[in-house]
Structures are given as C-alpha cells and as structure tokens.
Amino acid sequence: MDKLLLCLLVIVNFPGAFFQGNTSGKAFVFPTESDNSYVTLSAPVQKPLKAFTLCLQVYTALTRSYSLFSFATKAQYNEILLFSEKPGLYSVSVGGSDAYFKVPEAFYTPRHFCVTWESQTGITELWVDGKPMVRMSLKKGYTVGSEASIILGQEQDSFGGGFNKNQALVGDIGDVNMWDFVLPPEEIRAVSTNGVSTPNVLNWEELKYETRGEVFLKDQLWV
Ligand SMILES: *[C@@H]1O[C@H](CO)[C@@H](O)[C@H](O)[C@H]1NC(C)=O
C-alpha cells in the first residue's frame, strides 16, 4: 500500500482524531443511553464572544431532561448550554446564569432551535421551529470565553467531562451551526427552513468533530 495512504488511514482511524467534512444531510445518532457517548466539535476560530446565534435540529422521544448543546470553558462549565428540562420547558444558560422558556410541546416531530444572545443588552432569544418565544435577559455585559469544550450528546459538569446518563441525548442531532453575531429574525426564519446564512463559528458543512462511544453519522430523517 502507498505509504502516504497508509499514513492517512492511520491518522484517520486513530481514536481521538478530529474528522473534518461536509455533514450536510447527516445527523449524529445516539441510539442508546450512556454517559460515555458524545461528539466533540472544534471551532476553527476561537475567540471571546460578545454575541452569538446557535441553531440545531433535534429528534428525540425523551421525556426526561437532556442536553442539546454544551459549551464549557475551564472557568465556567455552563458557559453556553441549551437544555431540555422536561417536555415544554427549555433552559438557555450563558456564563452560568439560566433563562427558562416555556415551549409548546410536540411529540415525535423533529424540532429546530435557535438561541441568540448579545452582551450589549443581555437579550436572549429562543426560536423553536422558526417561531420566537418571548425574549429574556441574561448576563448583560458578559463576554463568553474562548478555548471551549463543545459537546453534543452529553452535559458537561466539568471541562470535557462530568457526564450523567440522565442528561444524555438519545436520538438524533444535526444542522448545528453557530455565528458570532445575532442573526436578524428573517435570517433565523430562513435557517429554520434550511435557508442559507453561512455560519462563522461552527459550520455543519465544514464540521470538525470527534465521536466517542455509541454515536453514528447517518442520513437525516427530517430532510
Ligand atoms: C455540502 O454538501 C451539500 C450537499 O451535497 C452542498 O449543497 C454544499 O454546497 C456542500 N458545502 C460545502 C461547503 O462543500
């Protein structure tokens, strides 16, 4: 075998290596409950954030609490967290403070979420399936730290760890995109129906990720 190819295969198969690729049309599937299955995302550019928009799609039948997106820094484990508390209640955390959003329940349907936050006003928005919940306020004047550990499938209670299987996602997650600014409402509506707005922090079409445990990249069921 060609030495370069062999070398590449070794790198690609090495546990703990980051893959990079276009995951458009795909979803990470967590078929079983565990405290050791997860996906780590790598943001190509790491810088402190004064604002952000985070969007993703989730399909699950869970009725217990679970994490949708866990962004931890060494100083703050709940630096950015999107969490389902129970059916009809979601929390958004920024810098360790929480805002709770009541969301109309929907069973057995994939759901699209966008979270926006800006330091200048503290205004925090949660959009579900392209519809805005009532805006709330979190951490006015705060700056979200860089060098984050970004994890799908588990909730971090320490930097890159502290998982609890009672907070793990069982189901599918995809279309995870993040911007370093607040997307205007019309763009959020467009993103929630697969519209284009190129993300500059996390880009699902150029995703750098690492999987651990029972997690598989499969075709999206919601396309
Ligand atoms: C990723 O794949 C989709 C579907 O094949 C395509 O439309 C899109 O342009 C690709 N994106 C990049 C950055 O290559």
Could you tell me which of 163, 134, 139, 137 has the C-alpha nearest to residue 151?
163
| CA 124 to ligand 1 center in whole angstroms | 30
On the question of pLDDT at 4 being above 80, the answer is no
Query: What percentage of the chain has pLDDT greater than the value 90?
Result: 86
On the question of pLDDT at 7 being above 70, the answer is no
On the question of pLDDT at 40 being above 60, the answer is yes
Kindly report the protein residue whose alpha carbon is nearest to atom 11 of ligand 1. 205
Ligand 1 pocket test, candidate residues 20, 22, 177, 204, most atoms within 8 A of CB: 22
Structure tokens that stand for 58 in this block: 């989730």
CA angle 102, 149, 203 (to 5 degrees): 75
Q: Which domains does the chain have, with CATH numbers?
A: 35-218 (2.60.120.200)
Query: What percentage of the chain has pLDDT greater than the value 70?
Result: 93
| CA 24 to ligand 1 center in whole angstroms | 6
On the question of pLDDT at 41 being above 90, the answer is yes
Could you tell me which of 91, 75, 55 has the C-alpha nearest to residue 145?
75
On the question of pLDDT at 2 being above 70, the answer is no
Q: Which atom of ligand 1 is nearest to the CA of 25?
A: 4
Q: Which atom of ligand 1 is nearest to the CA of 22?
A: 1
Dihedral sign computed on CA atoms, order 143, 146, 152, 158: negative
State the average pLDDT over residues 42-49.
91
The more confidently predicted of residues 43 and 14 is 43
pTM: 0.91
Lining ligand 1 with CB less than 6 A are 22, 24-25, 205-206
Q: Which amino acid is at 204?
A: W
Q: How does pLDDT run across 116-131, given as a tens digit for each residue?
A: 999 999 999 999 999 9
On the question of pLDDT at 52 being above 70, the answer is yes
| CA 204 to ligand 1 center in whole angstroms | 9
Kindly report the protein residue whose alpha carbon is nearest to atom 13 of ligand 1. 205
Ligand 1 pocket test, candidate residues 205, 206, 220, most atoms within 8 A of CB: 205
State the average pLDDT over residues 75-79.
97
Model confidence at 33, pLDDT cuts 50, 70, 90, reads very high
Q: What is the residue-averaged pLDDT of the chain?
A: 92
| CA 21 to ligand 1 center in whole angstroms | 10
- Cα–Cα distance measured from residue 169 to residue 171, given in angstroms and rounded to the nearest whole number: 6
| CA 55 to ligand 1 center in whole angstroms | 18
State the average pLDDT over residues 170-185.
97
| CA 153 to ligand 1 center in whole angstroms | 24
Q: How does pLDDT run across 97-109, given as a tens digit for each residue?
A: 999 999 999 888 9
How far, in whole angstroms, is CA 138 from its chain's centroid? 19
Could you tell me which of 134, 13, 115 has the C-alpha nearest to residue 55?
115
